[in-house]
Every structure is written in structure tokens, then in C-alpha cells.
Structure 1
Amino acid sequence: MAGTKGTRLAQSLWSMKPKLSRWILLAALAAGLIWSGLLAYIHLTGSASVLDRFETVFLDLKIAAAGERSPPSDVVIVAIDDQTVNGVGQFPLPRNRLAALIDAIEAAGAKAIAIDLLLPTTSDDSHDLDLGAALKNFPSVIAAVGSLEEALPLENSVPVVETVMVPAAAVSRFSKTGLANIVTDTGGTPRHIPHLFLTPEGLKPSFSLQAFSLFQGEPHSFAANGVRIGEQLRATDLGWHMPLNYYGPGGTIPTFSAANLMEQGSDPEISLEDKLVVLGVTATAVGDRFSTPFDPVMPGVEIQATGLANLLDHSALIRGPETRSLDGLVAVCITLLGLLAIAYFSLAQASFIYFVLMAVWLLFTAVAFTHGHWLNGALPLAASLPPVAALIFVRQISDRRWARQQQIAQQELARFHAPRLAERIAGDPTFLLHPREQTVAVLFIDLSGYTGLSEQLGPAATRDFLKEFHTVVVNVASANNGVVLDFMGDGAMLGFGIPDPASSDPLNACRCTFQLVEQVHDWLALQSSMSERCRLRVGGHIGQAVLSRLGHEQQQQITATGDCVNVASRLLEVAKHHGALVALSSDLIAAAENISPNSLTVPRRETEGIRGRRQSLSVGLWKSHEVLLSSKRL
């Protein structure tokens, strides 16, 4: 069922039209898959990479958000601190004094001791014998240190040790040993404790594993996915590395000064009953120091104690092959989903989707961390961000190119409408989806003598002639707030009050009428013999008209229809019948005179029957020499 839904989702996406070429999308998906898959593979194998540095930032943020927590009560630290060194007067402590300290720890009831001190050479033989005697009947582990082939051993394999610095034989024969090497990140923070090392003498366990096994009284063994202590399995990362889970700053694990035990043998205020004691150095400028998420200078002994505490309370971070596989799978999925979002949605929507995907994953890793799981936040980000950013860049280029093409197309389409109508449609795509009735003034113009002229000029010259003629018409109409609704060969239909009516529409129509006659005739005069053959006639009327979109659903034009339009068209016949150039209805003349400071001089008025109309109409007529006088009065 899930497979069927996934198939349907893929088919649905494929049926959607992407906003990028499908070949670009396929190339982006392939590149994203290769890139994210490569990073996922590196993560799965545990190979060191620059991503580890970024991941530690996310890890430290999660550690800080989770806050401090209580360590198990079974682990305590006995510290050779400044007070101890000052009391003894030297460092390292003489081994007879160290023996006395161990005796005091045993007397305080400790169950076992893990000595995080290097005791590689013999000192005074009697002192070594004293130390050996102190350890003879006390379960103990002494730290050894290996010289590793790599300064930072990879997490994907067992660290290889070239040489091992072991405790002196007089001491080590009464104690177990374990390698105390830890793995730090590039910032110097200990992140893992390897539990297994390959030495020239064979495989050797870690210091913390030996101490834990000794404390539990159970032998340890190594399983494919962790370390087994008796019947209990402790999961580890690749190469049997245990990720550390810190409890807090230095001192969070109970710490006691060795001076108090050395001076009194067994301080009654110090309770070590059945404890695992970690003995190490915290004195200033002595011993190793490490930066941790909680403390910039935590003593190395507390790092070892943290590892032991993690083993005791099962709180070591869970990070193994399964966890890494989930990290890799999420990295690939976020990458591919981010790329698909960019291809199918707007950039704003795609960016939001990508942000949500990353935010959900980072939130999930934070919640998982509270349950001890170390999921990677840097890997999905590094895997997805480069291909997603690259495709956003490609998409922006594509969108800009598409926008330019659309702008050019809109400019070209705008040529098929009057500029005022084109601007209105661009700003309001729903303009005139529903017809509306309003008052408009309509002019029809016609160029008499055009038929014979076109026959004389031929097709090419006729086209050039009409182009110049139409230019004059558009310029005059625009200058008087009119729009050319339609060109009809040697004629045109002009509207005033379109798209929105104004009180000055009748006056603008009349002014346009007389200016058209003048300017067209002036233009014709420049065309040599054409001025003798052609004359411009104009018919005009005002009234109610219906503005609407006419035509097919996929091919429309905006026009005006109604009695007003029909009358204006018929007035061209009236003008021709009376040998006039202009025929304007008395309605249009009266409407213009109502808003003009001057009245029109109407040379001649006639009451005419309009073809196809029952009611007669009073019409004002102008001949060529009379047009100039009326034009000047307006």
C-alpha cells in the first residue's frame, strides 16, 4: 500500500509542470544524489572530514540545551590537587606516598581503583615494592599510553598503536592495565573513548573498559555492535569507539582531595564505600587539560571518570551504523526534496519548504539527544545546501529570462490594445470579465478615396501609408484622452470614457474630431497628390454603450456595443450624403457645450433618419473650411 502511494506521488509530481526544464531538473537531481550520497558514504564509513567540525557545533548546542545532569554515585575521583602537591612538596608523588594513598582509599571502603597516572619507570626499589604491596590485594587498573600512528585516529577503525608506555613491572604485576588514549575533535574536545587498540602485542582494551569490567566483576568481550560485560551489551560507534556524554563542568563527578586521605589515612568524612575510585591529577600546570562543552579546562582524570560513569549508567551517546545510516538517508532525502521543491514551487515557497525540512530534522536530533541518540545535524545541511543553492541560482536565472520574455510578450500584446486599456488589463486581469453599461462618446472615422489610392500604390506602399495614417489617429486620440478601440483598414473606432467615464469626455471627443480633420489633412498635404484624392470624415455620438470582452474564450477583444455605437457609425453616411467632413449628433454637441466655456459654432443642422433606427436624430454638419473655426473655439 505504501509503495502504491509512493508511486502515485511520483506520478503526480511528474504530471505537474516544473518551472524548470525537465532535463535541468534531472541533472540537478542526479548531481544532488551524487553529492549527498558521497557525503553520506563518508559519514557511514566514519572517515574524518571537515563536516565533523561543524557537527561538534551542533552537538555542543544540544548538550548546552540539555543542561547538566547527575552522574552515577558509584564513581568518585580522588584528586592529586594543589593541596596534595604542596603537602608532599614534589610532583610526581613518591611511590611510597602513592602507596599510602592507595591504602587509605582501600581502607575507606572503595571496591576498586582506576589509577590515571603514568608509572613507566622504576624509582626507588623499595618504593615500588610498597606500591606493589598496596595493589596486591586491591582490584586496580593502571593507565598505559600508546603512541598512535595518527594524531587523530579515525572513528571507523581500531586505533593502531606503535609503542605502548606501560607501568613498571614491579607495579603492573599486581594490577591490570588499559590504554588511556582518547579521541579529540579538531577543537581539542574529547568526543570518543576507543575501547580497543591494536598494539604490537595484539589487541588491548581501554583503561575505562578494564576498570568497569573490574568493578563489575565480569569479563568483557567485543561484539559486532558494542562491548559485552557479562550479559550486558554496551553499544558503541564504529571501531568500538564510545561517544562521551558529559555531565557538567569540572567537579560535577564527586571529587575528593588526596591530601585529606594521605594526612589522616582515612578521613571519616570521605565515603568511598563500594565506590569505583578514579585516582588522577588535577593540580595546576600538572597533567593534561581538555576543553569540554561545559568547561574549557577539564582535567584528564575527569574525562576518564566520565567515560566510566557513562558505562555505569548506560548514558554513553548512541551512535552506530544504524544511526549513521539514518543520518545518510535523511541527508539524501532532504537534498532531493529540496531540489524538487525548487523545481515545482515558487522560490519563496521552496525556500520555506526547505527551511521546514531542515528545522524539523534539527528539532528531531535535539529531541533524540535527550534520549541519548547522537543524530547528525551538519550532514543533511552540508549535503543539501550546495545543490539546493546552486539550483536556486539556476532557477533565478531561468525566472529572470522568463520574466524578460514575458515582459517582451506583454509589450507586444499591448500593441493590440490601446495603452490605457493594456495598462488596465495588466493591473486588473478580471477587467470586463462581466460586461458593464456606461456613458461613452464614440467617433468613427473614414478616409474617403482610399480604395482608388490603394490600387495605385500597391500592397507595400499602401501598408506604409496606413501605418502613418494610424499613427496620426492614435496621437490625436491619446492627446484628448481617447482610445482607439479598433482599426478598420482606412477607418477606426474611437472611444471616450473608456475604460472609466469622466465629465470631460464629450468635450474631448469634439476636440479630437476637429483636430483629426486638421492634422490628417495636413499630413495628406505632405503626400503630394494624395491630398487631392483623400478626405477624412468623422461621425460622432454620445450615449449608453455596453463595454465587454467579445470573442472566443481563448481570443478576445475589448469593445463597445449598443445604439450609441451604431448611430456614430451611421453618421459617416450622413456626412457623405451632405458632402460634409464632420457629422456630430446634437446630443454630443450639447454635452460638450455644457462643460465648455464657449459654444460650438454649428454651420448647419439637419434632422436625419438613421438607417436601421426609427427615431430621427438632429445632426450638426461641418465642411472643410468650417472645421478650423470650430476647432479654435474649443
Structure 2
Amino acid sequence: MRAWPRAWPREGRRTHAAVAAALALAASLLAAAWHRDGRASVLDRLESPLLDLRFLLVGPEPAPADLVIVALDDEAIREAGGYPLPRAAMARLVRILSGARPRALGLDLLFLDPGPAPDDAALAEALKDAGAVLAAAAAFRADPPGAAEAVPVPGLPVAERVRWPIARFRDGTGIGLVNIATDHAGTPRHVPLLLRLGDTALPSFPLRLAAQAARAEPVLEAGGIAVGGVRSRPDLGLNLPIRLHGPRGTVRTVSAGAVLRGEVEAEELRNRIVVVGATAIGAADTFATPYDPVLPGVEVLATAIGHLATGDGLVRDAATRRIDAGAAIVLAVASALAVSLAPAGLAVAVVILAALAWLAATVIAFSSHLWLSATVPLAAMIPGLLYGLLGRLGLDRRRARDLARSERALRLFHPPALAARLAQDPGFLAAPVTQEVGIVFLDLSGFTRLSERLGSQGTDRFLRDFHGVVGEEIGRHGGLVLSFMGDGALAVFGLLDPKPGDARQALVAADSLVPRIRSWLGTHTLTRGRPVGLRVGAHHGEVVASRLGASDHQQITVAGDSVNVASRLMEVAKDLRAALVVSADLVAASGIAPGAMPFEGERSVAIRGRAQPLSVAYRWTERMAAG
């Protein structure tokens, strides 16, 4: 474990990214497979409001011009005296509509019960002469069987039973199922084109009417269905997605009452697809849509008929589902890698932009009648993102702990103030700086004989205690101990943030070290009865502060003539048998008035290796031991 700090972050992050990508890939493949097979899931509930939003963003669009609804509205019902309309009135309506020679005629009405025999006979004859398509409705099984039964295509909705028109009306007419598939909120989403009843496939009302209008039978093709040369691309199980045109009335609508009164010209109906259905409140089945909370069911069916007749329906087939699956895989893996490897801020921005880009792509595709899933790719991103974010958080915390341990360890090699500066400004003294500082050197006299008697362990213990006293006293006066050299030390004042009082602090600290260390030596258990003394040399002058050493191993230090002078003053102290020797330069720079510090003497001395003599002051000559 201790060998990891340098090696583990890169390898650990790569491993974490690989695991996150693998998890994202597995999750996206599962979501893609589920979506490709058309299985219901909670994502369908999330997709519905996003699809409604696309309807609103793209807006309504015009319905086909050759599509007309003849509405059994409030006016028609009021004139007929009630709903359902009497069979005689319905027979007259069918005759009028048939006489206008529409391309196709369908009645979205369930004639489940017989009426008066003469009226039923008249209506049956009118329906047969018109070749009208009548409505039937399927009821569905709660537990549909497998696909072993003989049907044209797999995955068709399975009907348990069908509510047919009375037998009298079936002769010479077409029958189509008017079932509409809605989402959990009741919004119409699909119209099943074929439904399965036992081993028989039954056509829907829109398919039957579109085929009548095209004068051609529907032809099943790979991935679609063609009616009279117009190809549509329904969803799985031949479920036709509904691209709602707008609120009620978007599909051209005329009142059945106006038709019965002769107020509708035959030209308005000629060669058009005419659908008769109820729109009156309380008489018609209605659906909540993004454009209208009470859209009549006949308008939904008319919309589906228009899709099949013109090929302008909403496309959501196996190909679009493959696009969804591909997007899910790419987005999931890419987002997992981004949050695992990229900087945190950039990763979050990339993931958000990718999600927004996909949502924007679904809107653009919807404007071209392509229904791409907004939720499947976004949902597929979640497992990899969560693992990537949580794992990255764990790695970052672990890295932070290692860095904190490393920082604490590195701080042991620098004075606290210098370590704090390096942490705040890693480039501190990367370039050498020339400045004036106070310099203090000290070492012990008699230490060689002491260490001989103490042995290695005793000497180590003694030096640790000694360094602690020196560091505490220097730090108390604002100085930095740059290095400990066995029984000696080098301290500077004014290196980090030079101030006018640095020289004074250096002089006071140098003077206070003598009584402090003498007191400590007198009470330390390892030095009792053993002559150990102290020599301190202090100077003030210009130095070059820099980092010395190789590129991978450096230390902060000061160099120059002033440093050499301060070091030589300890030799002067030995010659003068004084504990403290300071230069006149330091005394002058300190601003301490002459006589304020009781020096025992002043003189001009020669400094080894230096041509010019130096004026010094000294004190603490008593109780000195020979070095």
C-alpha cells in the first residue's frame, strides 16, 4: 500500500473507467434489447410527457385535404331527437353520402343491437349499396398466448372476443376494428392495424377504409405495410403510431345535420374519404391529447386513415428502435468514460450537453415524423454515470488522503511557515531572489564528548529534544530554521515576507537562545554533570534565496557572503569565550539604541577567508566550556 501513492492514481482511474464503461455497456445493451423487443417498462411513462412536449414544440400540422368527418354532433342529435340516431335517419344519411360518390365511406359506429325491422332493412341496403366499412370493437386477453398460432406477423395484439355489428349489416360491407392504444395517461399513441383472434388476423377500421380508398388490398412488406403503393412504417406488431394533427376540427368536419338538410354540396364529399362518427359531448369517446383534452375518437381514427392513405404518419419501426439502441450504447459508454477520466467540471458539462443534444435530436427528428426515444438513451446513461461519479469520488477521496499524508510528511522537512507558503505557492523561489535577511547560526560546544558517552540512541534522543527547543525559540520570534546540522542550526529572519523589524527579531532571538538553551541543558537528564555549552553567531546582510539541488530533490536555502560571515562568528565566539557574537551590521539594522542590550564588549575582529575586519559585539561569557 505505501508504494502506491505515485503509481495508483493513473492505473486506478483507468481500471475504474474500464469498469464504468463495462457497466454502462451492459446497462445500455439491456435497455436496448428491452426497447428493441417493445417490452413495456417504466420508461414508457417517462417517454409520454416528453413525446407530448415534442408535439407542442413542433406544433400542429394540416390534415389531408381529401379526408372529411361527418359528425354526429349536438346539432345532428338534437334534430334527430336523440342518440343513437334512428336507423331510418342513418339510412338516409348513408344514401346521401353514397350519392356524393366518396372514394371511401366508413361508419365509426357500433351497430350491436337490432332496431325496427323495416329501418334495419333500409339501413342494411344503404350500407351494402355504398360498400361502407362498419366498426367492430375487440376486447383483449389479460394473458395473451405465445406466437405459435398461424398469423401473418408476430407480436400482434391478441383479442379475446370481438363485438361485431348485427349479422344483417355485415352482408356486402367491410368490417374494421376501431380499437385505439393509449398510454397510461389516456393519450392515443397507436392504432393496431391487425389484431389476432385465434389463428385469424383481423384488419383495423383505418386499414380497411384506406384499402377501400386505394382500391387495393394491403400488402405486408419487410418493415412496413403498403396500401395502394403508399408505404407506411408501423411500430412492432403493426401498431401505427399516431401523429396528431391538432385540436378537434383540424380534420375537416361537417355536421351530419347539415348533410341531412342538404346544406352540404356533393362536391365537398366527392372522391374523398368520408368517416361518419360521433363528436357530441356524452355521445362520443374522447381522448386527452397535447392539443385538446377532449379529442373525439373518430378524429383519431381519421388521422390514422390519413397516415395510411398519404404515408405521412409518425415513424417508429425496428430501424428507429435500432437508432435508439445505438444512441443508448454510445451515450452510456461515452458519459461513463467522461466522468471517470475527464476533469470534473468538463465531464459534467460534456454529459449535460450530450443529453441535451440527444433531446434536441429527438425534437428535430419528430419534425420529420420520426419518433426517436428520448428516455431509453438517457436512462441507459444512469448506471455508468452513477458508478463513474461515485467511484471517482472514492478515488478522489483516497487520493486526497494520500496527498494529505504526503503533505504532512513533507511538512516535517520544512518549518511550518515555509511549508504553508510552498503549499500556497508551489513556485516559491523557483527563481533566485536577492534580499536582506537576519542570519543566526548556532552550535553546541562539548557535543563530541557528550555523544561519545550517550551512544547512538541517546544522542538521537538528545538531538531531537535540542532541535525542538531551537525551532520553538526561533519560531517564537518569527524566524525560520532552514536546516539542522547535527548539533547546529541555521535560521533566517525576513525570508518569506520581509518586514522592517526582521533584524530586530533576529537579534532578540539570538540573544534569547543563550539563556533558553542553557536552562534546558541544565535540566536535561542526559547532560547533567556533563559540560556542554553554546555558541551563537548573528549577522544581517544581503543573501541569495533559492532552491538548490537536482530537479527531483531540492531544498530552500540562502547563500552569499553574509551567510559565511554569520557562520564565522561562531569561531569568533569560541575565541572570545562568549556564547553570543553579533555583527555591528545586525545591531545597526535592528534599530536598538546603543546600550539597550548589555553587551559585554565590542571589538573589530578578523574573519577567516575575508580581507576586511568586522566590528562585533559579544556577551554571555560566563560558564563557557572549551569546545
Instruction: Report TM bin, short chain.
Output: over 0.9
Cross-structure match for 2:398? 401
Pick from 64, 68, 79 the counterpart of residue 87 of structure 1.
79
Q: Which moved more, 1:158-167 or 1:521-530?
A: 521-530
Alpha-carbon contact 1:225-1:240 (below 8 Å) kept: no
Matched, 1:30 2:22: yes
Q: How does 1:439-458 map to 2 (within 5 A)?
A: 439-458=436-455
Alpha-carbon contact 2:23-2:383 (below 8 Å) kept: no
Matched, 1:125 2:117: yes
Please report how far the alpha carbon of residue 153 of structure 1 lies from its aligned counterpart in structure 2 after TM superposition. 12
Q: Which moved more, 1:430-439 or 1:155-164?
A: 155-164
Cross-structure match for 2:358? 361
Please report how far the alpha carbon of residue 599 of structure 1 lies from its aligned counterpart in structure 2 after TM superposition. 3.5
SS at match of 1:456: helix
Q: Which moved more, 1:269-278 or 1:530-539?
A: 269-278
Q: Which moved more, 1:141-150 or 1:437-446?
A: 141-150
Pick from 33, 41, 55 the counterpart of residue 63 of structure 1.
55
Q: Which moved more, 1:283-292 or 1:238-247?
A: 283-292
SS at match of 1:137: helix
Cross-structure match for 1:553? 551
Q: Which amino acid aligns with 1:176?
A: G
Please report how far the alpha carbon of residue 346 of structure 1 lies from its aligned counterpart in structure 2 after TM superposition. 2.1
Matched, 1:271 2:268: yes
Query: Structure 2 CA distance, aligned partners of 1:624 and 1:303?
Result: 112
Please report how far the alpha carbon of residue 625 of structure 1 lies from its aligned counterpart in structure 2 after TM superposition. 5.2
Q: How does 1:330-409 map to 2 (within 5 A)?
A: 330-409=327-406
Cross-structure match for 1:292? 289
Cross-structure match for 1:3? none
Cross-structure match for 1:424? 421
Cross-structure match for 1:207? 205
Pick from 249, 254, 260 the counterpart of residue 247 of structure 2.
249
Cross-structure match for 1:97? 89
Q: Which amino acid aligns with 2:43?
A: L
Change (3 A) 1:598 1:127: farther
Change (3 A) 1:596 1:376: farther
Matched, 1:606 2:598: no
Please report how far the alpha carbon of residue 355 of structure 1 lies from its aligned counterpart in structure 2 after TM superposition. 1.2
Query: Structure 1 CA distance, aligned partners of 2:11 and 2:374?
Result: 30
Cross-structure match for 2:150? none
Change (3 A) 1:232 1:621: same
Cross-structure match for 1:573? 571
TM-score between both structures, scaled by the size of structure 1: 0.92
Query: Structure 2 CA distance, aligned partners of 1:428 and 1:173?
Result: 95
Please report how far the alpha carbon of residue 269 of structure 1 lies from its aligned counterpart in structure 2 after TM superposition. 9.5
SS at match of 1:219: coil
Query: Structure 2 CA distance, aligned partners of 1:512 and 1:318?
Result: 87
Q: Which amino acid aligns with 1:145?
A: A
Alpha-carbon contact 2:76-2:255 (below 8 Å) kept: yes
Cross-structure match for 1:309? 306
Q: Deviations over 1:152-204 (max 9, x none)?
A: 99998111112111112221212111111121111111111111111236112
Query: Structure 2 CA distance, aligned partners of 1:458 and 1:308?
Result: 105
Cross-structure match for 1:239? 237
Cross-structure match for 1:4? none
The total of aligned residue pairs comes to 611
Query: Structure 1 CA distance, aligned partners of 2:379 and 2:361?
Result: 17
Q: Which moved more, 1:202-211 or 1:23-32?
A: 23-32
Please report how far the alpha carbon of residue 626 of structure 1 lies from its aligned counterpart in structure 2 after TM superposition. 11
Change (3 A) 1:136 1:598: farther
Matched, 1:227 2:219: no
Cross-structure match for 2:149? none
Change (3 A) 1:333 1:350: same
Cross-structure match for 1:147? 139
Q: Which amino acid aligns with 2:433?
A: R
Cross-structure match for 1:410? 407
Change (3 A) 1:266 1:101: farther
Q: Which moved more, 1:209-218 or 1:312-321?
A: 312-321
Please report how far the alpha carbon of residue 610 of structure 1 lies from its aligned counterpart in structure 2 after TM superposition. 1.1
Query: Structure 2 CA distance, aligned partners of 1:123 and 1:261?
Result: 23
Cross-structure match for 2:171? 173
Change (3 A) 1:595 1:85: farther
Q: Deviations over 1:366-389 (max 9, x none)?
A: 111111111111001111113212
Alpha-carbon contact 1:152-1:184 (below 8 Å) kept: no
SS at match of 2:190: strand
Change (3 A) 1:249 1:598: farther
Alpha-carbon contact 1:111-1:273 (below 8 Å) kept: yes
Cross-structure match for 2:520? 523
Q: Which moved more, 1:570-579 or 1:459-468?
A: 459-468
Cross-structure match for 1:630? none
Alpha-carbon contact 2:230-2:310 (below 8 Å) kept: no
Query: Structure 2 CA distance, aligned partners of 1:171 and 1:80?
Result: 20
SS at match of 1:273: coil
Change (3 A) 1:416 1:564: same
Query: Structure 1 CA distance, aligned partners of 2:586 and 2:270?
Result: 115
Change (3 A) 1:109 1:18: farther
Alpha-carbon contact 1:524-1:531 (below 8 Å) kept: no
Cross-structure match for 1:320? 317
Q: Which runs of 5+ in 1 are unaligned?
A: 1-14, 628-634
Change (3 A) 1:622 1:317: same
Cross-structure match for 1:8? none
Q: Which moved more, 1:484-493 or 1:470-479?
A: 470-479
Query: Structure 2 CA distance, aligned partners of 1:163 and 1:340?
Result: 52
Change (3 A) 1:17 1:367: farther
Query: Structure 1 CA distance, aligned partners of 2:237 and 2:132?
Result: 26
Please report how far the alpha carbon of residue 288 of structure 1 lies from its aligned counterpart in structure 2 after TM superposition. 1.4
Please report how far the alpha carbon of residue 490 of structure 1 lies from its aligned counterpart in structure 2 after TM superposition. 0.6
| Seq. identity, % | 38
Change (3 A) 1:524 1:91: same
Q: Deviations over 1:64-110 (max 9, x none)?
A: 10011111111111111122222222221121111111122234453
Q: Which runs of 5+ in 2 are unaligned?
A: 1-6, 147-152
Alpha-carbon contact 2:25-2:329 (below 8 Å) kept: yes
Alpha-carbon contact 1:278-1:305 (below 8 Å) kept: yes
Q: Which moved more, 1:388-397 or 1:579-588?
A: 388-397
Q: Deviations over 1:40-80 (max 9, x none)?
A: 10000111111111111221111110011111111111111
Q: Which moved more, 1:135-144 or 1:612-621?
A: 135-144
Query: Structure 1 CA distance, aligned partners of 2:14 and 2:154?
Result: 40
Q: Which amino acid aligns with 2:128?
A: K
Change (3 A) 1:578 1:387: same
Alpha-carbon contact 2:231-2:308 (below 8 Å) kept: no
Please report how far the alpha carbon of residue 315 of structure 1 lies from its aligned counterpart in structure 2 after TM superposition. 2.0
Please report how far the alpha carbon of residue 261 of structure 1 lies from its aligned counterpart in structure 2 after TM superposition. 1.6
SS at match of 2:268: coil
SS at match of 1:473: helix
Q: Which amino acid aligns with 1:37?
A: L
SS at match of 2:431: coil
Cross-structure match for 1:631? none
